[in-house]
Amino acid sequence: MKSAARELNRKSALGEMVRNLHRVGCIIRACRHTPARLSYPQEMRATKRKSQVGSGGEGERALLAQIRSRAGQSSQGRLRLGIGDDCALLRPRAGEELAVTTDLSISGRHFRLGWHPPESVGHRTLARGLSDLAAMGARPVAAFLSLGLPSELTRSTRGRKSKSKSWPNSWPNSWIARFLDGLLSLAEAHATPLAGGDLSESPLAMADIVLIGAVPRGKALLRSGAHPGDLLYVTGSLGGSACGLARLAELASAAGLTECESDRKRSLKIPAKAEAELAPHLYPQPRIAQGRWLVRHSAATAALDLSDGLSTDLAHLCEESHVAAEVDAGALPIHPGATLAQALHGGEDYELLFTAAPSTRLPKSIAGVPLTKIGHIVRPRSNRPQIALHTANGSQALEPQGWEHFS
């Protein structure tokens, strides 16, 4: 019954998504100024047209020039060729394989314009892609960003006067400039050049990130390598993001901000004293150094990143490796303030979950991030759950209850 209801929800959600996409398409087609396709490289040299921001004219070129300028500062010397031509050119090192991942963030689904500071949306957009590279043990090579934004997000957000300013002058206070502040700061921290992308006006704010990484040939960490007897580890702590999101919702509620998209004009002001509590949600840290360490030392048999929640992601690992797992609830490194449920199902912690042979010696921490043994891998059997959770009160099946993409 439950699964039938879930399937129904899935179908109706899919139908709703298709209808929404169709509606978005209709809106885009109905626009008086049909948004031009704007690749960063090509449109730098676009023909001269005079019109307003978002209509394919000078404003857009100024915006693209700003993005190009800022991206260039962070990519010097790291690319064969970055923004400025039809394609970027990457030069992988000998003996490496490329790892490629893409991740879509949509307003109202993955972030809320009224709740999340633009810097956080930019940071999280890149962090999601970098975390996938970390899960494979790859080093970042380049990022490609495609943005669909309502036109008001490319204008200044401070004061009525500044709203009327032309593009270059309003740039520093615009939502998109602050979005790039967040994205490029994290890119710089992980030596990841922004090498290109696409830009369009859109009724919904959305950001798609493509990450290219490189990993020594045959050494990438896969979900499929776990064996019965392996030990199960996580980096960092769990539940911090879900706990931070719950706190963010409380602050938004107290400020009278609903979840509605229309509230984006009233952005939440986050008090300084709440910043640390919200940081795991607003600014999660992808574990690139830890993933690369595991590859360098051939220490992991399987790995993935915790984006959807431990219960869901561990089920993915078990399915791909054809194994079962047992988790010790008492061993979980629960983030201060978070609940057991948030640690198990919350998602968006972007820590690494990995398995290692019992004979593998691991340090207590890698690059300052602690490692914790939380359970072990067992052979799957029909009379036991795929994942068993051991608590002080006995054992129970741990069902996947994390993020579902179409629920």
Binding residues (CB under 5 A) for Mg ion: these are 132, 305, 307
Half-sphere exposure of 236 (CA within 13 A, CB side): 26
For Mg ion, the closer of residues 17 and 222 by Cβ is 222
Q: How far is the CB of 132 from Mg ion (least distance, A)?
A: 4
Residue 56 or 347: the one with the smaller Cβ distance to Mg ion is 347
Q: Shortest approach of Mg ion to residue 136 CB, angstroms?
A: 9
Answer left, alpha or beta for residue 292, where phi above 0 means left and psi between -120 and 50 means alpha. Answer: alpha
Minimum Å gap between C-beta 135 and Mg ion is: 5
User: Minimal distance in Å, beta carbon 307 to Mg ion?
Assistant: 5
In the complex, what is the shortest distance from the CB of residue 182 to Mg ion, in angstroms, rounded to a whole number? 20
Q: Measure the CA–CA gap between 232 and 323, rounded to whole angstroms.
A: 12
Q: Which is nearer to Mg ion, 119 or 132 (CB)?
A: 132
Token pair of 170, please?
A: 């309003």
Handedness of CA 307, 312, 318, 319 (dihedral sign): negative
We find the least distance from the C-beta atom of residue 304 to Mg ion, in angstroms, to be 6
Output the CA torsion sign for 137, 138, 139, 143.
Answer: negative
Residue closer to Mg ion by CB (options 326, 349) is: 349
What contacts 24+ positions apart, CB below 8 Å, involve 259-263? 259/108, 259/112, 260/114, 261/107, 261/108, 261/112, 261/113, 261/204, 263/113, 263/114
Phi first, then psi, for residue 217 (nearest 5°) are -55, 130
Q: Which is nearer to Mg ion, 132 or 348 (CB)?
A: 132
DSSP single-letter state for residue 89: B
Whole-angstrom distance, CA of residue 323 vs CA of residue 68: 47
Question: Residue 164 is encoded by which pair of tokens?
Answer: 């009327």
Residue nearer to Mg ion on the CB measure, 43 or 305: 305
